[in-house]
Amino acid sequence: MNAIISVTDLTKKFGKFTAVDNISFEVEKGEILAFLGPNGAGKSTTIKMLTTLLPVTAGSILVNGFNVMSQPYDVRKSFGIVFQDPSLDDELTAYENMEFHGVFYGVAAKLRAERIMYLLKLVELWDRKDEPVKNYSGGMKRRLEIARGLIHHPKILFLDEPTLGLDPQTRNHLWEYIVRLNKEEQMTIFFTTHYMEEAEKVANRIAIIDQGKIITQGKVTELKKQTKTKSLEEAFLKLVGHSIRDESASAMDQLRMAKKMWGRR
């Protein structure tokens, strides 16, 4: 056993509300783990704690052997991340976004230029590298974000609903890159998604979280056997139920709405 992420008795409370309730799990080096759960189950909160963006209330997290609370800089160097919502600077070009990331992660100039070229070619954006990102489509932005997350050669790649809102062609393409990275570089992949067929196809192992607790984890075949169902989607619904979850709109969601209504500044 060779765990690259180990989470022990992790709890996160916002005031009286417990978002993540005493969970423990491990991710093996080089595996692809799908972290599934209904809206508001605690997926994003867990990812935020794993990536040092939120302090933990109780418990401990080791990422690549470093503690997220006491060694945040070492942890941050160990992973790349693609967030649920875009995190590019729209006014900068693709190349400048990559350059910015490389400098922020302390990648030396020569190496940085080599890797940026390699990665932009990998995600087929090299020809349009000098265009401002605001001209890019949703799929192109996602590809750029994945490429950006890899400049500093992370050991782990976090993907929070990476394929949300993309067409099937782009989704297939993205997973091809990701699986290739996993195979060729032994990169550990930790992702969340609401598309069960994606998780079934790509992941080596599944963990399902609901109401802040991990209710089950294992291989897809094991989950199907456990629930006596034919597909992961059926297994998922059987485990977490059919009712729709409410998730209060955060200030950030409202702001995003306002942006849609008013258009660009």
Partner 1 sequence: MGAIYIMWLRQLKRYWRSKSRMFGALGQPILFLLALGFGFGPIFEKAGGGSYINFLAPGVIAMSILFTAMFGGIEIIWDRQFGFLKETLVAPVSRTAIMLGRTLGGATVAFLQGIVVLFICLLIGFRITSFWYLPAALLFMFLISLFFTAFGTAIASNLVDMQAFPLIMNFLVMPIFFLSGALFPLTGLPSALEVITRFNPLAYGVDGLRGALGGVMVFGFGWDFLVLIAVTIAILLIGGWMFTKIEV
Residues forming the site for partner 1 (CB under 8 A)? 48, 51-54, 72-74, 76-77, 81, 83, 85-92, 96, 99-101, 103-106, 132, 251-252, 254-256, 258-259, 265
- Min dist CB 75 to partner 1, Å, is 8
Q: 54 or 220: whose CB is closer to partner 1?
A: 54
Q: 244 or 252: whose CB is closer to partner 1?
A: 252
DSSP letter at 124 equals T
- Min dist CB 79 to partner 1, Å, is 8
φ, ψ for residue 157 (rounded to 5)? -120, 120
Report the alpha-carbon angle 161-194-141, nearest 5.
30
- Min dist CB 222 to partner 1, Å, is 33
Q: 134 or 225: whose CB is closer to partner 1?
A: 134
The β-bridge relationship of strands 17-28 and 58-63 is unpaired
Q: 55 or 241: whose CB is closer to partner 1?
A: 55
Half-sphere exposure of 247 (CA within 13 A, CB side): 18
- Min dist CB 61 to partner 1, Å, is 14
Q: 17 or 73: whose CB is closer to partner 1?
A: 73
- Min dist CB 99 to partner 1, Å, is 7
**Nearest in space to 26 (alpha carbons), one of 7, 1, 48:** 7
- Min dist CB 123 to partner 1, Å, is 17
Half-sphere exposure of 133 (CA within 13 A, CB side): 22
Q: 230 or 260: whose CB is closer to partner 1?
A: 260
